[in-house]
Amino acid sequence: MKRQLPILLAILFAASACGKTPPAIPTSTPSPPPTDTPSPTALPTDIPLPTLTPACISSEPTQDDIERALSYAGGVFDTPEWDMTHSVMEDHVSVTRQSVIQGAVAYLEARIFPCGYEEPDLNKYYNDENWKIVFQNYESYELSIQCRLDTGLRLYQFKAQNFGFEYDARYWVQNDTDTRVIVTMLVFPIVPGSLIDEYASQLFPSLPNCS
């Protein structure tokens, strides 16, 4: 159905005070021996709460990250028409494939979140400011629709324009590990015979589009 961080425990110190009731005053009739009644334990008013310290890792990509990025698409783009380049940056590995014949681009990014992430973190990361960076080389763009699966796989669909051409752009975000996210972006011109649906179905059969 589509829809849209060693823990450091603080040590608790509890000050307690115990006392006895005073002995009973003797009367003409001996009273039973006094009993000890402990007073209630005093609880500190300011109890320090456990705190969470993120277990962060290095943001430098490892060889495994590089291999993961290069092999993620399987053999979908293993044809002569797709030229491939890749780069390794401080917190991500990117793979860019271009097809001159189709005027299309397939971009993949294995991004590292050193201190881990949760769904709200991704909501904040993939926002309007992020899209401005993604589409900075286009004249204009518009987010048409977005959707996600219960598995966490997200899809953002855009319409973009550049040099008089209109483009269908689809941007998937997949939770890969606790500290890694895989981004895949397909950009194809909107023309008869476009193969974007075919490639999208091969890469993400469970979510090729938001329709």
Cα distance between residue 70 and residue 84, in whole Å: 10
Phi, psi of 61 (to 5 degrees): -60, 145
Mean pLDDT by 10 residues, the chain (211 residues): 37 35 37 45 50 77 96 96 96 97 96 94 92 96 96 97 96 96 98 96 97 84
- What pLDDT, on a 0 to 100 scale, did the predictor assign at position 211? 84
User: What is the token pair recorded at 164?
Assistant: 């008089």
Residue type, 12: L
pLDDT in tens, 154-194: 999 999 999 999 999 999 999 999 999 999 999 999 999 99
User: What is the token pair recorded at 162?
Assistant: 């550049």
- What pLDDT, on a 0 to 100 scale, did the predictor assign at position 209? 97
Residue spans of the domains in the chain: they are 63-203
User: What is the token pair recorded at 105?
Assistant: 């681009």
Sequential DSSP letters for the chain: -------BPPPP--------PPPPPP-SSPPPPP---PPPPPPPSSPPPPB--------SPPHHHHHHHHHTTTTTT-STTEEEEEEE-SSEEEEEEEETTTTEEEEEEEEE-TT---HHHHHHHSSHHHHHHHTTTSSEEEEEEEEE-TTS-EEEEEEEEETTEEEEEEEEEEE-SSSEEEEEEEEEE--TT--HHHHHHHH-TT-S---
State the architecture of 63-203 in CATH terms.
3-Layer(aba) Sandwich (3.40)
Nearest residue to 174 via CA among 203, 142, 196: 203
User: What is the token pair recorded at 178?
Assistant: 């606790």
Residue type, 176: D
pTM score above 0.85: no
- What pLDDT, on a 0 to 100 scale, did the predictor assign at position 54? 58
Cα distance between residue 52 and residue 120, in whole Å: 17
Phi, psi of 197 (to 5 degrees): -65, -40
Cα distance between residue 183 and residue 146, in whole Å: 15
